[in-house]
Amino acid sequence: MSQIEQPAQQIITYLHSVVQKHSSTYPQIREVAERAIQSILKGSILSHEELDFILYPLASFNEKEMSLATDKSAIDQGVLMKYQGTPRTHGPPPCSII
């Protein structure tokens, strides 16, 4: 195995272990890992999503869970955000709670 192939194989082994450990909690993790593995095997340049997944495999899944929990909590409490005004060139759009 060449010096270039060895780190690639280590990353693939690592991704397989992440999938085994977390696939019951995050079923879609297998698909994301498989895309990254295929890019590595092809020798392709990794997309920023694939690279983020390799570096922080659970970050995007945890962020989505937190976002969904926050959205659900806001809906449960009857809080809705309504866009008002015209688009701005910087910063978040103006919102109000209705």
Query: What is the distance between the terminal CA atoms of the chain, rounded to a whole angstrom?
Result: 62
Model pLDDT for residues 29-50, shown as the tens digit of each residue: 999 999 999 999 999 999 988 9
Q: What is the mean pLDDT of residues 80-97?
A: 50
Residue ranges of the domains in the chain?
1-57
> Does this model's pTM top 0.85?
no
Cα angle at 24 between 21 and 25, to 5 degrees? 90
Model pLDDT for residues 36-85, shown as the tens digit of each residue: 999 999 999 999 889 988 988 888 776 665 555 555 555 555 544 444 44
Number of helices and strands (H, E) in the chain?
Answer: 4, 2
Burial annotation 15-43 (CB, 10 A radius, 16+ → b, else e): beebbeebeeebeebeebbeebbebbeee
Distance, in Å, from the CA atom of 86 to the CA atom of 31, rounded to the nearest integer, reads 39
Cα angle at 26 between 67 and 62, to 5 degrees? 30
